[in-house]
Structure 1
Amino acid sequence: MTRSGYHARQSHAHGTSDKSMSSTAGDFRDLTPLVPMAALREAGTTAHEPMHRFTVQAPADTLGQVTALLARAHAVPRTTLTKGTTAELDDEIPAAKTHEVHRFLPSASRGEGARETVSHGYRHVRVFK
């Protein structure tokens, strides 16, 4: 979109002001994302997001809390191994969610969790409905 206009009140020719013909700022907020999305969909554009490979080591008895945290962060599980009292999870996670996991991992693992991330390519996302 290169230009738009806002008219606080519109009226019929030779008539009085008609509030039903007035546009509001909300009309523009609601409509603005729809126009570019429709144009991108028609052009066949696809969107991809950066992914990280994410390894977490945590006490085995916190596996439920750690797994729930990763699920909320849209992680895609690859493997889960338990060695004695330690669990190791290998996941793919959107790069935008790694900070969230870093922030909440200590509480999910009683402060004993360790994590490692490395860039792992891109994944197609559906944003143009």
Structure 2
Amino acid sequence: MGIGSAVEVLGTASNPFLATIGLRIEPAASNSGITFCLDVDIKSVPMFIFNAVENFYSLLETTIQETLKQGIYGWQVTDCKITLTHSGYISPSSTSADFRKLLPLVLMTALKEAGTEVCEPLQQFYLEIPVDTVGAILAILAKLDAVLQAQDVQGETCVLEGEIPVARVHEFQLWLPSLTRGEGVLETSFSRYEVVRGSFPTRRRSDTSPLNRKAYLMHVLGWSSAKS
């Protein structure tokens, strides 16, 4: 992920909402999750709607979290910092819904500019097997894109440790009993995420994508195709 930004200004022809929102999105440390902060004058916060800055912040943060459950390629986006850079309203006409419905448009535009990569989860594995089955096990681990990190022979038992893609764990579990005469013992736990190299899987959004501006506005505003 790089850095991306976008702004939708109240009163412009492209923005049907009574709100201004500007966002900047940038990468954050691995496993840090999604963080959100405000960088606007408090006068730009519609207190007549929210009563307190904390309530305004809470609405935007919740909407951000919900929107990023399905990113550019349909997968959840994480490990990023999002900053509110612009805010505006008209008193007393603006409503919380204006901000809630506009934010996904701005956020996904900024995210598209920043660019994202699809990552897959890796599991750390600890495996005890009979020493005479090591060759067969190493062959199947390589086939399943596992990476061996440690190997230790303890008498008639060999301990293997490494990482394996989560998507391949079940297949390995199916192979293990027959390759080890039922004596293999496998333990796994989450390790980390790794960028998928080459072609990667995508997932269709379960809602109307804000990246499809026309369809999104028709959905949230109840427009007919004739009006759009």
Same fold (TM over 0.5): yes
2:152 alignment partner, SS class: strand
Q: 5 Å matches for 1:91-102?
A: 91-102=162-173
Structure 1 residue 55 corresponds to structure 2 residue 109: no
Indicate the residue corresponding to 2:195 in structure 1.
124
Indicate the residue corresponding to 2:175 in structure 1.
104
Q: Distance in 2 between matches of 1:92 and 1:75?
A: 6
- Offset of residue 43 of structure 1: 6.2
AA aligned to 1:83 is Q
AA aligned to 1:103 is L
Q: Distance in 2 between matches of 1:46 and 1:62?
A: 38
- Over aligned residue pairs, what C-alpha RMSD do you find? 2.2
AA aligned to 2:129 is A
Per mean C-alpha deviation after superposition, the further-off stretch among 119-128 and 102-111 is 119-128
Determine which of 137, 146, 169 is the counterpart of 1:66.
Answer: 137
Structure 1 residue 89 corresponds to structure 2 residue 89: no
Q: 5 Å matches for 1:13-52?
A: 44-52=115-123
Unaligned runs of at least 5 residues, structure 1? 1-35, 37-41
- Offset of residue 121 of structure 1: 1.2
1:122–1:52 distance in 2 versus 1, CA, 3 Å: same
AA aligned to 2:137 is V
Unaligned runs of at least 5 residues, structure 2? 1-72, 74-112, 201-228
- Offset of residue 100 of structure 1: 0.5
8 Å CA contact retained: 1:54, 1:115: yes
- Offset of residue 46 of structure 1: 1.1
1:105–1:43 distance in 2 versus 1, CA, 3 Å: same
Q: Distance in 2 between matches of 1:128 and 1:106?
A: 32
1:95–1:85 distance in 2 versus 1, CA, 3 Å: same
Q: Distance in 2 between matches of 1:62 and 1:126?
A: 31
AA aligned to 2:180 is S
Q: Distance in 1 between matches of 2:122 and 2:153?
A: 25
**1:55-95 per-position Cα deviation (integer Å, ceiling 9, x unaligned):** 11000010001111111111011000000000000010000
Determine which of 179, 183, 186 is the counterpart of 1:115.
Answer: 186
* Count, aligned residues: 91
1:122 alignment partner, SS class: strand
TM norm structure 2: 0.37
Give the share of equivalent positions with the same residue, in percent: 42
1:106 alignment partner, SS class: helix
